[in-house]
Every structure is written in structure tokens, then in C-alpha cells.
Structure 1
Amino acid sequence: MEEMNVFLTMIYRELKRFIRSPSRIIGSILNPLLWLIFFGKGWSGVFNFPMATRIFGGVDYMTYLVPGVVVMTVFDMSFLQGLTIIWDKQFGFMKEILVAPASRVESILGRITGGAIVAMIQGFIMVALSFIVANLKVSGVIPTLILAFFVGVAIAGLGVAVALKMSSMEGFQIIVMMLMLPMMFLSGAFYPVRTMPNWMQWLAKINPLTYAVDGARYYLAGVTPTFGIMQDWIVLILLALVFAGFAGLEFRKAYLS
């Protein structure tokens, strides 16, 4: 019961931090909106011919792009969960966790889960706004958000594991930028995986975001999945378990007294 209390408390803390930071909410929404408006609208004009819909699975480019931007939003916010770990190490909150009579693994899993829930909320906001500019399926919102939660847990776990080995916020942000752009462009968010060169397709297959985009695009836009929807679910659930477990073990190892 005590372990469950610390798990829920850490989730509550992440949600409270999110609600109390209007600038974070606005910033997290503004960036993907800029992608939709300037990138999506710009390229929609380029692909405004009948044959283009065949390239993008039978939908217009804006509808094709939206699921990728939603996943990109979840990825961005989830990975930055690691930044809060560095922040807490510098300002003393981490020490309070370490001296508390509670499971360290449960506390870090609560933070990862809370971060994934926050990222999922931001993904939901993006989906809701995207109905204005794209032809999306309302029935696909809930399964897309569940997919977003699993990819959020996986990426937040990865971000936390990386942050535990670092002490500099600047260094962590550099790593985020180094990983973010390749993972985004290899995910199929902006163009189909099957049109990539062979070596890029192999990299796409080991990219967690690829399966999240593939599943989200199936549910929101009705595009036939590249890998199969069951494979998308299995990969994301397994990655969520693996990365969350890895982060928990790394946290325990890093602060083992």
C-alpha cells in the first residue's frame, strides 16, 4: 500500500507541475502547431494533385501529417521528463526521495507514468485542434491516446535513464536535439517509410516512434499500417516495459546506499 501511495503521489506531482506552468502548456502546443501550419500547409500545396493521395495511403497530406505531429508532441514532452530529474538533483528534491521510507523504484516509475500522462494530455490537445485542419476519425482518438501513453512511458523511461548519468541540463538538451530530429524523420511522420532508401528503412524499423506513428495514422486517418496494427501494439508495449524497467534499475543502482 505504501509503495502504491508513493507511485500515485509522484503521478500527482507531475500533473500538478504541468497545470501550474501555463508557459509550458503554451510552448508544448505552439511548436507542433507551427509544424502543422507552416510545414503541413506548405507541403499540402505541393502535393495538391490526384496521384499524391496514393503516396500517402489515400488521404491528403495534412491528414497524413497530423498523426506524426501528435506522436512528435508526445515524444518531445516525454523525453524532457529526464530534464526534471536533473533539475531535482540540483535543487534537492531527489535527496528527499532518497531519505523517504518508500521504494525508490516505485517513485521513479511514478514519475515516468506521470510524465507519460502529461504527454498524452498534450497529444490529446493536438488531436482536438487538428480536427480543424484535417479529416480525422473521431473513433480513432481513444486508441491513439492509448498508443501515445505507451510511447510516452517508453520515451520517458529512456529520458530518465539518460538523465541519471548526467548532471548538466545543457548537456541533456544537446542529447535530446541529437536524437529528436533523426527519430522524427525516420518515424514516417513526414513521408512514408516505404519511400525511404533501404538503409533508412532499416533504421526506421528500430525506431520506437515509427510504430507509434504507424498505429496513430491507422486510427486517425484510416491509412493501412505499414507493419500491421498488432505489431505496432506489441512493439510499443514491450518497449514501454523495457525502458521503464531499465530506468527503475538505473535509478536504484545510481542511488544505492
Structure 2
Amino acid sequence: MTAPALPASDASSPPDRPAVRDGSGPDRVPRLWHELRAVHALVHRDLLRLAAQPVHTGLMLVQPMLYLFILGGGLAALIPNSSLGGGYQTYLFPGVLMMTVQTPAIMVGIRLITDRQSGYVRELLMAPVRRPTLLLGTCAGGTLVATVQGAVLLTLVGAIGLPYDPLLLLTLLVGMMLTSFTLTALALTLAVTLDRPEVFNMLLGLVMMPLLLLSGGFFPVGNLPGWAQALAAANPLAYGVDVLRRCIAARVPDRAAPTTVEWSGWQPPVLLEGTLLLTVGILALLWAAHRFGRPE
């Protein structure tokens, strides 16, 4: 008796070679489940690190609180309320929230570089998931940690004369999450192109201070030269501060402060500002995922 002939499609390959899966059909759901589990594991790791370092987290909140109560309290007596729509501390609060979420977002980029140097990223790449998924999980974890730290400062809104309005707190929380995502994505975009944390820190030292000063978080930029106002309109931090400030103005109209972003005298709606901020974060994350997905 002769053995049955193999199908034509299998004649050129050994019978024991596993079939190549294209991610379609019944294999699609398990593959997606593995990707989601990888993202969850990376987010969980960042939350465990946050819970295991309460002193470090508290120290990161000291500087924003000093700006809010010492700098804000000192300048409040010198700056008339009429020029800012309210007290200076209320005007400063969105900028302080920006400072709070900025630090943990930047640390995600530094940690990615150090993890690559220590070999931890090489161990992660052995997991049966795509490389961009690992970067997405890192971005999601950094965004959540930055938002949690910013949420701690939301408990101080009563100290600067703002009401504990649930809708106000919710909109500020959403605005901080959006800003945290964009900053984390931009930090990862820079981190995937660099090999040493020293270079990363040096570039941040050169870039972050001008971005903060042109964000409108500490003083109105309307009196600056035209070129500086144009830079402010292209500054992603300015859009984050603007979104937070307009969230306050929507719930507390008597504390409405002058906004930062203007396009030839036209003030874009807050939804458009939020959409642009989200778009910048998505494009930065896609580019970082593309760069991170390339074999080293």
C-alpha cells in the first residue's frame, strides 16, 4: 500500500514544520489577549514602583507646592487680580499642575534608556509580543503615574480659592491625563533615538525651561514680542496649560484668566486645543513605536 500524497501546498515543506500564523481567524483573539496582558503588566509594574517609593513621590511634589504657595503667595500681593481675572495663585495653578505631571513623564524616557543599557529591555523583547506593544505599555504606565501624582495636587484647590466641584476636578483630571500622555509620548520619542541618559538630560535642560516659560503657566505671554508669541502658539505645553485654565474658567467664570494660545488674534476652542494635543501625542508615539520596532 502506498502512502497518500501530500497536498501541493505542503510538498515543498517538511510535515513537522508549524504553520505560519497570520494573526487572522481564531488566532487573532489570543494574540490580542497576549498584547493586552503585556500592556497591563507594564502598567502594573509602574504602579508598584510608585507605591513602593512614597518618599520619592512626595519629594517630587515638593517643588510644585513651593511654586504654588511661596512664589504664588509672594507675587499675589504684587500683581493686581484684575489683570489676571483672579488671584495669581489661581492663575499659577495650571502651570503647577503642568510641572507636576511633567517630571514623571520625563522620567519614563530616562528609564527607557537605562533599561536598555542594563539589558532589561532585551529581556522584555523575549516576550511573545510585538515591540510597539511594549512601548505602548511603557507610555500607558508613565501617563497613569503622572496623572496620579497630579491628582494629589487637586486636593489643594480649596487652598487657592477654588471650589471642590466634582465636575471641575474631573475635567482637570482629564486635562492632566491628556497632557501626561502627550509629554510621555514626546519623552519616549526622544529616548528611542538616544543611547545615553546624560545626553537625554542635557537636551531636556536646554529645551524644557524655554517651553515652560513660553507655556503661559507663570505669566501671560501676550506682552512678549511677536516671535515669542508665535513660539508659544507652537508649544505643546501651552496647549496643556490652556486646556487646564479653560477648565477652571468653565466652572468658575469669575476666575477666568487670559489664555495663552491665539492664532492671529483668534482663540481656538478648547476641544480643538485638546484634539491637537492628543494628535501630537499619538503621532509622537507612532513614530517612537516605529523606531523602537526596528531591530537593533
| Structure 1 pair 235–126 and aligned structure 2 pair: CA distance change class (3 A) | same
- Give the aligned partner of residue 153 of structure 2: 126
Instruction: Identify the residue that residue 97 of structure 2 maps to in structure 1.
Output: 70
Equivalent position of 1:108 in the other structure: 135
Name the residue aligned to 1:35.
67
**Which residue of 186, 192, 197 maps to 2:220?**
192
State the shift of 1:164 in Å.
1.8
Unaligned runs of 5+ in 1: none
Q: Which residue of 1 aligns with 2:21?
A: none
Letter of the structure 2 residue corresponding to residue 24 of structure 1:
H
**Amino acid aligned to 2:276:** V
CA-CA distance at 1:198 after TM superposition: 1.0
| CA RMSD after TM alignment | 1.7
Between stretches 128-137 and 8-17, larger displacement belongs to: 128-137
TM-score normalised by L of structure 2:
0.79
Distance 1:191 1:156, change over 3 A: same
CA distance in 1, matches of 2:192, 2:131: 13
Q: Which residue of 2 aligns with 1:4?
A: 36
SS of aligned partner of 1:126: helix
Pair 1:177-2:205 in alignment: yes
TM-score of the pair, normalised by structure 1:
0.91
Could you tell me whether the CA contact under 8 Å between 2:69 and 2:89 is conserved in 1?
Answer: no
Q: Please identify the structure whose Cα radius of gyration is greater.
A: 2
Contact 2:105/2:180 (CA < 8 Å) preserved in 1?
yes
**AA aligned opposite 1:203:** L
Cα 1:127–1:16 change in 2 (3 A) is same
Structure 1: 4+ residue segments shifted above 4 A = none
- Structure 2 residues not aligned, in runs of 5+: 1-32, 262-266
The equivalent of 1:44 in structure 2 is 76
1:30 counterpart letter in structure 2: V
CA drift at 1:134: 3.6
Q: Secondary structure at the match of 1:191?
A: coil
Which residue in the other structure is 1:83 paired with? 110
1:207-247 residue CA offsets vs partner (Å, 9 max, x unmatched):
11111111111223542655321222111111121112122
With over 3 angstroms needed to count, the CA separation of the structure-2 counterparts of 1:136 and 1:198, relative to structure 1, is farther
With a CA cutoff of 8 Å and minimum separation of 6, indicate the structure with the bigger relative contact order.
Answer: 1
| The one of 279, 282, 290 aligned to 1:238 | 279
Return the letter of the residue paired with 1:71. Answer: M
- 2:45 maps to 13
